[in-house]
Chains A and B, each alone.
Chain A
Amino acid sequence: SAVISQKPSRDICQRGTSLTIQCQVDSQVTMMFWYRQQPGQSLTLIATANQGSEATYESGFVIDKFPISRPNLTFSTLTVSNMSPEDSSIYLCSAQMAGLNIQYFGAGTRLSVL
């Protein structure tokens, strides 16, 4: 398995600002993902973080709003840009190891936008 650390664990932000969430994995993984969980909802995939190249975004999510970096095999960041109250959600990072069809999740970042 993989242990995934996310920070910050929670934050309260002002409208119009940006927040960068960090995700660190304790071992080298092939794939990393970012999800959003809106209040009372299930998880929705935002994008797949590709190492050394641009992330692959799902329908409804764009790079300008959710820029993602993945400089190496164990680290990724997600930025929520120009935030509005509608961005208040839990953002979760997950990682998948080579040859294993299992995703392991971080504890999530609880974001509230005022």
Chain B
Amino acid sequence: AQSVTQLDSHVSVSEGTPVLLRCNYSSSYSPSLFWYVQHPNKGLQLLLKYTSAATLVKGINGFEAEFKKSETSFHLTKPSAHMSDAAEYFCVVSDRRSSASKIIFGSGTRLSIRP
């Protein structure tokens, strides 16, 4: 069984400061992990994905995430927040063994950026 937990429902940071959105997962098998972003009134956009290669994954818009198996974590970070980063972020897990597997969404973290 798989599950994913986003530890913060809401994160607020000042523009120009670092962003940390936390995600822990549970998987019986080697997982694939993703972060998606949903801007207001928009669909979901893939930020980055971890499948099995490098544990530090770089995504779009300056975001990156590190897969830590010992901590079962896949936290999303960005060195310097921009106003345009304000959105809802979803951590997602799937079973890497099968391309036909379902994906499980976390509950989401709303990121607010203070001027």
Contacts and interface: CB of A to CB of B under 8 A. Distances in A.
A99 B36 CA distance: 20
B99 A107 contact: no
Contact of A104 (B46, B96, B105): B46
Contacts of B101: 101
A42 B100 CA distance: 21
A25 interface: no
Judged by DSSP, the binding face of A is strand
Contacts, number: 47
A42 B32 CA distance: 19
A96 B99 contact: yes
Give the most central of B34, B41, B44, B106: most A CB within 10 Å. B44
Interface string A94-105: 101011111111
A104 B43 CA distance: 10
A45 interface: yes
B106 A42 contact: yes
Interface string A23-57: 00000001100000000011111001000000000
28 contacts: A4-B43, A30-B99, A30-B100, A41-B107, A42-B105, A42-B108, A43-B44, A43-B90, A43-B105, A45-B103, A48-B102, A92-B43, A92-B44, A98-B99, A99-B99, A100-B99, A101-B32, A101-B96, A101-B99, A101-B101, A102-B49, A105-B36, A105-B43, A105-B44, A106-B43, A107-B42, A108-B42, A110-B41
Interface of B: 32, 34, 36, 41-46, 49, 51, 90, 94, 96, 99-103, 105-108
